[in-house]
Amino acid sequence: MNKLMIFGFSIVLFFAIIAIFAPFVATHDPGKIDIENILTGPSKEHVLGTDSLGRDLFSRMVFGTRISLMVGFIAVGIAALIGIALGSIAGYYGKWVDLIIMRFVDIMLCFPTFFLILAVIALLEPSIINIMIIIGITSWMGVARLIRAEILSLKERDFIYAEKAIGASDFRIITRHLIPNAMAPVLVSITLGIAAAILVESSLSFLGIGVQPPTPSWGNILSEGKSVMGAAWWMMLFPGLAIFITVLGYNLLGEGIRERLLKT
């Protein structure tokens, strides 16, 4: 399993480097239109071919990496913040606070998440920031449940009683002692969550209500690829592969971390 985890980590690292150094990796200006080279296949000049406006597909995908990873990270960051906050409050205070928060979690879990995201995105403006926020506020429930379960068992431990005895505030106990000790399963959930968020963003962009052109994202390149499916296979193959490999990377990394944590 460790080999798979290293494989996953390499993929994650590889795409992270591409995203950070996008301007240096790209061979062309991703927005430069060249009507003399419309939909040309992979060649020496254009490694992965060009799109229907003659833009270089490779460079567009390189900048698309930035968008996809950014959406994944920030969306999951928001989800983790909400989940950790609500989960730890529910777990620590218990009683009716716990009851209300966990009922809220149950209700949120009933909705087909993709429906909820679709509705909000289409009613608001489909900007990148809106997408990140909405994916974030519809995917925190798993984290909340995990944190709560951990804290329920942690708060009965001696070191927490000791903290209480020396008069530490609730806030200090939760943020300094409980959350750090409950983070292990959350880490797994966050890693897998990034993969899921990248998938959701690309699905939305594919349906035309995600990242809007001309900003390149893997999903909206694929959406364009659909309309030129018969004429330009590269427009469909490469962005799909990029999404697939990235998601695979985060999933493998997440599973690897899980196995490690369970064994020790």
Partner 1 sequence: MIKYIFRRLIGLIPLLLGITIITFAVIHLAPGKPTDMETQFNPKVSMEARERMMTLYGLDKPIHIQYKDWLIRLLHLDFGISFVDSRPVMKKILERIPVTLGINLASIILILLIGIPIGVSSAVREGGFYDRSMTVFVFVGFAIPTFWLSLILMDLVGVRWGILPVSGIKSLEFEQFGFFEKIFDIARHLVLPVFVSAFGGLAGISRYMRSNMTNVLKQDYIRTARAKGLREKDVIYKHGLKNALLPVVTILGLSVPGLIGGSVIFESIFSIPGMGRLFYESVMTRDYPVIMGVLVIGASLTLLGNLLADVSYAAVDPRIKYE
Give Cα 246 to chain centroid, integer Å: 11
3-state percent breakdown (helix, strand, coil) of the chain, nearest 5: 75, 0, 25
Report the residue from 21, 159, 161, 244 that binds partner 1 according to the rule CB under 8 A: 244
Residue 7 CA to residue 254 CA, distance in Å, equals 12
- What minimum distance in Å lies between the beta carbon of 194 and partner 1? 12
Report the residue from 39, 149, 168, 248 that binds partner 1 according to the rule CB under 8 A: 248
- 230 lines the binding site for partner 1 (CB under 8 A): yes
Single-letter amino acid code for the residue at 83: G
What x-and-dash track marks residues 176-205 binding partner 1 by CB under 8 A?
-------------------x---x--xx--
Residue 254 CA to residue 76 CA, distance in Å, equals 14
- What minimum distance in Å lies between the beta carbon of 115 and partner 1? 6
Half-sphere exposure of 215 (CA within 13 A, CB side): 14
Report the residue from 41, 226, 261, 262 that binds partner 1 according to the rule CB under 8 A: 226
Phi/psi of residue 202, nearest 5 degrees: -70, -35
Q: Enumerate residues 70-129 that contact partner 1 by CB under 8 A.
A: 103-104, 106-116, 118-120, 122-124
Q: In angstroms, how far apart are the furthest CA atoms of the chain? A: 76
- Interface residues with partner 1 (CB under 8 A)? 4, 103-104, 106-116, 118-120, 122-124, 195, 199, 202-203, 206-207, 209, 222, 225-226, 229-230, 233, 236, 240, 243-245, 247-248, 251-252, 255
